[in-house]
Structure formats: structure tokens, C-alpha cells
Amino acid sequence: MIKKYFAALSATALIGVAPYAMAASSTDLTVTGIITPKACAPSLSDGGMVDVGKVQATDLLPTQYTRVGSHPMQLTVACDASTLFALNGIDNKAGTSSSNQYFGLGLTSNNEKIGYFTPSIQSALADGQPVHSIRSIDNGASWTRFYQILKDNLTSTSAVGTLIPISVKDLTMELTIYTFIARADSLTLADDVAIDG
């Protein structure tokens, strides 16, 4: 009888301790996310490829940048429904541009910055209507009229004569991609150098 009583008491003690042991070794699981009602897909004509061809080292200006290309390209953004959006220019060759605002063209074998390229906005249509291109350098807090897509800047569109971004379903921008090679006296050009922007 006493053995049964101790066995029952021991079981009760274990059950009483078990919840405290589990609570002391718990952890939180957090699930977050955003349900996006509208999606937008950007695309570039020619697969986003610009080929400046072969550039002769002797054609480069010794103490100034040399423009080696101006290529037309079309940027389109198609959304499921009209929405506010902005383009954010990200340089896939970060740290290689010879100009802080523009996109890099890679490095020579001696780690010299080859040059830069910049997309210039010639015109823009939002849902078939002419619009202005605008940019923000403070993450959308303020906007100015601007004609280029720069890295780490937001680019959007506004109604003609305003600086307030508008909702757009289908955007078309006619661009010109200008490519510049750094001054020749800053580059080692004994061998072929691949332009890689």
C-alpha cells in the first residue's frame, strides 16, 4: 500500500514538473510577409544588351572621357493593374564605375576602372499618355524632374508639369544608352580589355 502511494506521488511530481521544463526551453516562431495585389514586370528591348564593338585604344582621348556608344533601347513595365511604382537602378558591377552616379564597365587586369554607362530617358508614355520622368534621392520623400536613370536613385513618372508620381499600368520609356571610356592616361591598354557593364 505504501509502495503504491509513493509510486502515485512520484508520478504526480513528474507531471507537475514537466510543464515548467517545457516552458523554459521554448522559442518563438514568427511568420511575416506581404500579399501583393498588383505585380509589375520590367523588360528591355534587345534583351538589355548593348555591344559597343571594338574600340581602338588610339581613338581614346588621353585626358578626357571618350564616348564610344549611344544606343537606343526601350524599357517597358507591364503591371496587372494601375499602381504606383518606381525603378531602382542597381549596378551589377558595383565599385567599377569611374563616375559615382553612373553604372560601371568593369576593371582592367590592373584594377583600373574602364569607364561608365548611363541610360538617358528620351521620352515616356504611361498608359498611352506622355509623362515626365522624375527621380528621388531620398527614397520617395521628394521628387525632381530628371532625364536619366542613375544608380541608387528612384525613377518614376508624373503627369506633365507636376512632380508627383502617378499610378501606371503600362509604361514605355525610350532610352539612349551612352557609354564612356575613362581617359586613356588612366588605363593600362597593352592587351585587349573586355568592356563588361
Tell the burial category of 149 from Cβ atoms under 10 Å away from its Cβ (0-12, 13-18, 19+): buried
Q: Residue ranges per domain, the chain?
A: 40-186
134 confidence band (pLDDT: 50, 70, 90): very high
Dihedrals phi, psi of 7, to nearest 5 degrees: -60, -45
Q: Helices (DSSP H) in the chain: which residue ranges? A: 2-24
The CA distance from 153 to 163, in Å, is: 15
11 confidence band (pLDDT: 50, 70, 90): very low
Q: Tell me the CA distances in angstroms from 68 to 51, 65, 102, 180, 195, one per residue in order.
A: 10, 9, 15, 6, 11
Give the model confidence (pLDDT) of 40-89 as tens digits. Answer: 999 999 999 999 999 998 999 999 999 998 999 999 999 999 999 999 99
Task: Return the C-alpha cell found at 171.
Answer: 509604361
